[in-house]
Amino acid sequence: MNKNTVLGWATFIMIVVGLGLIFLGAFRYNEVAGWGFASVGIGFFAIAWVFNALKGRV
pLDDT of residue 3: 87
Cα–Cα distance for residue pair 27/11, rounded to 1 Å:
24
Mean pLDDT for back-to-back runs of 10 residues, the chain (58 residues): 89 95 90 90 94 84
pLDDT of residue 41: 93
Query: Could you tell me the residue ranges of all domains in the chain?
Result: 3-54
pLDDT of residue 55: 84
Which residues have C-beta within 8 Å of that of residue 38, sequence separation ≥ 6? 21, 22, 25, 26
What are the tens digits of pLDDT across the range 25-37?
Answer: 989 888 888 899 9
